[in-house]
Amino acid sequence: MRHLLALLAGCVLASAAMAARAQDKSGDEVAKYREMLADGNPADLVELRGEELWKAKRGPKNASLEQCDLGLGPGVVDGAYAQLPKYFPDSKKVMDLEARLVYCMTTLQGFTEAEVTKAWFTKPGKEADMEALVTFVGARSNGKPINVANRHPQEAAMAKMGEYIFYRRAGPQDFSCAICHANDNKRIRLQELGNLTTKEGAGTAMKSFPAYRVSQGNVWSMQRRLIDCMRQARWPEPKYLSDAVIALEVYLQGKANGTVMQTPGIKR
């Protein structure tokens, strides 16, 4: 009996070791796949379109976005994404890049909010302007460290709310963000799940957005990423630009604080 147990234990260990080796090999091959993709990121083309849109005179007021204040003063784009979301005294709200762009498109260009948020992500045959603008502004923070201080009371409150949502279990599956994203070494199928409660895990995710997703063939903003996470967790989908989404962003950017931006990323 003891021999049998020893033998069994040996088998289990050996197969575990083999499985681990197979996993390492898969990991290498996935790394090679990602490396080959990184050499040409189609998001670079989206970025160019975003820059044109930023400079183009549009809307009822025939104005460009070049005077838009993204938090570093009117017209300053370099480094702007890395310090968002933040509190804006003019709107008295904590805003992320997309909320801020909508604010500028309504105040500077004279669009209605409904007009600019109606088609905020790309559908077949219709590229979203918002995606291009986000890609352009995001890329201009490339190389800059994420810097969200959460000094303003409203920013601190949003970070708190984001943390609450992150750990909150809800929906028909009683799911939370934390179930998949608060531990090391978790995977879904072949993909590793980042531990977003650590600087490394949150940094890896946050530094690469906005990111081109090859499975979708377009760029995803952090709004889209988080809204889709909630859909996949079988939660009711939050509204675009809602406080719930921005609060999660504030919380996650805070976790990632100090990580150097590398955007646009390219992902599965």
Question: Are the CB atoms for 211 and 43 separated by under 8 Å?
Answer: yes
- Least CB distance from residue 174 to other proteins, whole Å? 18
Question: Is 1 among the residues that bind other proteins (CB under 8 A)?
Answer: no
229 is catalytic: yes
Q: CA end-to-end span of the chain, whole Å?
A: 49
Among the listed ranges 102-110, 136-144, 145-153, 203-211, the one in contact with other proteins (CB under 8 A) is 203-211
Interface residue with other proteins among 49, 144, 152, 160 (CB under 8 A) is 49
Residue 44 lies near other proteins (rule: CB under 8 A)? yes
Binding other proteins (rule: CB under 8 A), the pick from 123, 151, 172, 185 is 123
The H-or-E segment that residue 266 falls in is strand 265-267
For residues 134 and 248, what is the distance between their CA atoms, to the nearest angstrom? 18
Among 75, 76, 119, 117, residue whose Cα is nearest residue 99: 117
Binding to other proteins by residue 156, rule CB under 8 A? Answer: no
Nearer to other proteins, 29 or 113 (CB): 29
Q: Which CB atom, from 92 or from 123, has the smaller least distance to other proteins?
A: 123
Residue 8 contacts residue 16 (beta carbons within 8 Å): no
65-103 core/surface letters (b: 16 or more CB in 10 A; e: else): beebbbbeeeeebebbbbbbbbbbeeeebbbbbbbbbbb
* Of 105, 139, 196, 211, the one binding other proteins by CB under 8 A: 211
User: What is the C-alpha to C-alpha distance for residues 230 and 164, in angstroms, rounded to an integer?
Assistant: 14
Binding residues (CB under 8 A) for other proteins: these are 25-26, 29-30, 32-34, 36-37, 39-42, 44-45, 48-49, 123-125, 187-191, 193-194, 205, 208, 211, 213-217, 228-229, 232, 267-268
Active centre residues (catalytic): 229
